[in-house]
């Protein structure tokens, strides 16, 4: 086995991608932002993602994985090819520092959405961002850093209402989604708002109506278009 590779722990906090095969762990040290994009299918070179072009059995100790085991379990001992498999099929493990960074970024996005799209029903005026932040701290809102900010708005608004009255302007959107995309789009419809109608047509397509905060429309359309490549029909209707 090759000599251990030592990382400078004062300069790098190891974020890892890991997979377990044949009772053995295989790890690669990653740049987390790029690794997440790579896993999502973005056009990023595997070499950009990795801190080291090596596969480890224990990256923190610098212990390299057995080439014989890689050949047996992955069908290749090419470490870059094995790293690709680990990133695509394995689990990305982030340091606590990086998870906190993601959580803070997600919190800022949620506060911005609430400040832009909700009002205080008592005054008809929007809540300032710092007031929303204080309310979130007061009720100890739990933010899911792996979930889109838009997908969390309804749940977080409900948590905030006892200390911060909120009202959203809402719209009703009617959609027709082709059969090949309907199943994948269904969770998007439910996450962005209240699913008021879902009718599966004889050809497998989906006709639906969703009520949501008006300010979430663009994010909703973006999410649908990402799945359908723009092949869907939508219109705002009166309730």
d(CA 152, CA 191): 8
H-state helical runs in 60-206: 67-74, 79-89, 96-117, 129-138, 149-160, 179-192
The reply to whether 192 and 231 lie within a common domain is: yes
The reply to whether 174 and 209 lie within a common domain is: yes
- The full length of the chain comes to 239
**CB distance 212 to 171 below 8 Å:** yes
Residue 18: which residues within 8 A CB-CB, separation 6 or more?
A: 25, 26, 27, 86, 90, 91, 93
The reply to whether 141 and 188 lie within a common domain is: no
The reply to whether 152 and 182 lie within a common domain is: no
How many Å from the N-terminal Cα to the C-terminal Cα in the chain?
Answer: 69
The reply to whether 150 and 179 lie within a common domain is: no
130 in any annotated domain: yes
In 31-48, which positions are buried (b, 16+ CB within 10 angstroms) versus exposed (e)?
bbebbbebbeeeebebee
What would the two tokens of residue 217 be? 């429309």
Burial of 68 (C-beta count, 10 Å sphere; 0-12/13-18/19+):
exposed
Residue 156's pLDDT is 95
d(CA 194, CA 210): 6
Domain boundary among 70, 93, 116: 93
132 in any annotated domain: yes
pLDDT tens for the 239 residues of the chain, in order? 444 455 554 444 789 999 999 999 999 999 998 998 888 788 899 999 999 999 999 998 999 999 999 999 999 999 999 999 999 999 998 888 888 998 999 999 999 999 888 888 888 788 999 999 999 999 999 998 878 888 899 899 999 999 999 988 788 999 999 999 999 999 899 888 889 999 999 999 999 999 987 777 888 999 999 999 999 999 998 76
- Residue at token pair 């969770």: 187
pLDDT, one tens digit per residue, over 154-180 is 899 999 999 999 988 788 999 999 999
The reply to whether 196 and 160 lie within a common domain is: no
The reply to whether 160 and 175 lie within a common domain is: no
2 in any annotated domain: no
CATH at residue 47 = 3.30.1250.10
Domain boundary among 125, 146, 167: 167
The reply to whether 109 and 120 lie within a common domain is: yes
The reply to whether 157 and 175 lie within a common domain is: no
- Count structural domains, the chain: 3
213 in any annotated domain: yes
Closest C-alpha among 81, 90, 98, 94 to residue 16:
94
Q: Domain of residue 198: give its range.
A: 170-237
Residue 20's pLDDT is 95
- Residue at token pair 């969703």: 210
Burial of 8 (C-beta count, 10 Å sphere; 0-12/13-18/19+):
exposed
Domain boundary among 117, 134, 167: 167
CATH at residue 192 = 3.30.70.240
The reply to whether 28 and 89 lie within a common domain is: yes
């Amino acid at each position: 086995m090759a000599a251990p590779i030592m990382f400078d722990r004062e300069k790098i906090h190891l974020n890892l991608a890991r997979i377990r095969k044949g009772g053995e762990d295989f790890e690669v040290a990653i740049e987390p932002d790029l690794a997440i994009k790579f896993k999502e299918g973005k056009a990023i070179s595997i070499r950009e993602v990795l801190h080291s072009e090596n596969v480890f059995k224990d990256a923190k100790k610098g212990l390299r994985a057995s080439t014989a085991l890689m050949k047996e379990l992955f069908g290749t001992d090419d470490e870059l090819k094995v790293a690709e498999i680990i990133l695509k099929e394995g689990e990305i493990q982030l340091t606590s520092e990086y998870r906190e960074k993601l959580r803070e970024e997600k919190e800022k996005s949620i506060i911005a959405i609430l400040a832009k799209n909700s009002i205080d029903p008592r005054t008809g005026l929007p809540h300032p961002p710092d007031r929303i932040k204080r309310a979130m701290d007061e009720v100890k809102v739990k933010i899911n850093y792996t979930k889109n900010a838009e997908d969390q708005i309804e749940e977080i608004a409900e948590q905030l209402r006892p200390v911060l009255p909120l009202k959203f302007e809402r719209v009703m959107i009617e959609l027709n989604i082709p059969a090949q995309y309907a199943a994948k789009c269904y969770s998007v419809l439910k996450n962005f708002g209240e699913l008021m109608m879902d009718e599966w047509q004889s050809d497998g397509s989906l006709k639906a109506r969703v009520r949501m905060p008006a300010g979430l429309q663009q994010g909703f359309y973006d999410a649908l278009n990402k799945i359908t490549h723009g092949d869907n029909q939508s219109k705002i209707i009166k309730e």
